[in-house]
Structure 1
Amino acid sequence: MIFKFYNQLHEDAKMIRQKVFVEEQGFENEFDDIDERSFHLVVYQNNKAIGCARMYSDGQDMILGRIAVLKEYRALHIGSHILDALEKKARELGYNHVCLSAQVRAKEFYHKNGYKDFGKEYLDEYCPHVQMKKVL
C-alpha cells in the first residue's frame, strides 16, 4: 500500500468519499470549506485508490475525519493503517493528541486503536456520533 498526502482535496479522495458517505450512507453535506484547509490522505493499492481521510488543525487540536475505505477493501485493516499514517503526520506537525468525530457504530474500531470517547452522543445528519481523542 502507498499512502500519499495532498494539500488539497484530491479527485481520488473525493471519489471515495462520494461512494462511501454519500452513496452508501446517505450523507448530503459531505464536502465543505474545511476541505480547503485540510491535509488529505489517499491510500493506493496496485495504483487504485482504496481509502482516504483528512486532517486539519482547529487552532488547538489536530482533527481527523472523513476516514473511508471502499467496501471491498474493508476486511484488510486499512482503516487502522490510515489512523497510523494520520497520527504519524500529526506528531510530525507537533501535536500530542488527535481528536475525531466517530459514527457511534464505528466506536469499537476506534477503541481498538487507542481512542477514548468523551462528551455526549449527538446527531450529524441523523447519524449518531461521538467525540473521541487519542494521546500520541
Structure 2
Amino acid sequence: MDIQLKTGCFDDAALVRRVVFMDEQGYENEFDAIDEDPNCIHVTLYVDGELAGCSRVFPEELERAADAEAPMSPACDLDEGVAAGETYIMGRVAVLPSMRRRGLASKIVEASDTCARDAGAKLIKLHAQEYVLPLYAKAGYTQIAPVDYEDEGQPHVWMAKRVDGR
C-alpha cells in the first residue's frame, strides 16, 4: 500500500468532504470562506494513487473572522504560553467509505499536526464528532470541554494537543 500525502489540493478535499459529510452524514453547511483562505492548509491522502481522505488546518483567528456563529474553541490549560496566531484548528478529517479500516485517518491526523506545526502552531484544537474521540485520543489529543451539540445538532467534543514539545 503506497500512501501519499499532499497539501493544496482543495478540489480533491472537497470531493471527499461532499461524499462523507454531505451525502453520507447529511450535513448541509460543509464549505465556508475558510476553505478559500490562503492560510488554510488542505491535506489530502492517496492510496496507490487513489484519493482516500482529507483534512484542513488553519489559524484559529480565521474561524472567528469567517463565522461569528461557529462554535468557538474553549480556553484550556494547554493555552498557557501560546500567543495569538499560534493556535490552529483541525477539522474536516474524513476518509472515503471504500478506504476505511486501514488506519488512514490516523495518518491524516499526524500529517495535519505536522503541517500546522510547520506553519507556526504551538497548539491544535479540534471539534470532533463524539464517536471518533478514540482516534484523536490515540494521537495525543485530550478532551477540554463536555459534549456539545453546536454543530448541526450532532454530538461533538472539543479536544486539544500541544505540538511544540511542551
Q: TM-score interval w.r.t. the shorter chain?
A: over 0.9
Gaps of 5+ in 2: 62-84
Match of 1:105 in 2: 131
Question: Secondary structure, in 3 states, of the residue corresponding to 2:120?
Answer: coil
> Whole-Å Cα distance in 2 between the matches of residues 53 and 82 of structure 1?
7
Question: Secondary structure, in 3 states, of the residue corresponding to 1:119?
Answer: coil
> Whole-Å Cα distance in 2 between the matches of residues 2 and 109 of structure 1?
20
Q: What is the aligned residue count?
A: 134
Question: Superposition RMSD on alpha carbons, in Å?
Answer: 1.2
Q: State yes or no: 1:31 paired with 2:35.
A: no
* 1:129 shift after superposition: 0.6
- What amino acid is aligned across from residue 58 of structure 2 in structure 1? Y
**TM-score under structure 2 length normalisation:** 0.77
User: Which structure carries more strand by proportion?
Assistant: 1
Match of 2:74 in 1: none
* 1:99 shift after superposition: 0.7
> Whole-Å Cα distance in 2 between the matches of residues 43 and 106 of structure 1?
19
Taking every aligned residue pair, what percent have the same amino acid on both sides? 37
* 1:46 shift after superposition: 2.0
> Whole-Å Cα distance in 1 between the matches of residues 140 and 96 of structure 2?
23
Which structure has the larger Rg? 2
> Whole-Å Cα distance in 2 between the matches of residues 34 and 120 of structure 1?
26
Gaps of 5+ in 1: none
Question: Secondary structure, in 3 states, of the residue corresponding to 1:89?
Answer: helix
Match of 2:60 in 1: 58
Match of 2:143 in 1: 117
> Whole-Å Cα distance in 1 between the matches of residues 58 and 114 of structure 2?
14
- What amino acid is aligned across from residue 98 of structure 2 in structure 1? E
Tell me which stretches of 4 or more aligned residues in structure 1 moved more than 6 Å. Answer: none
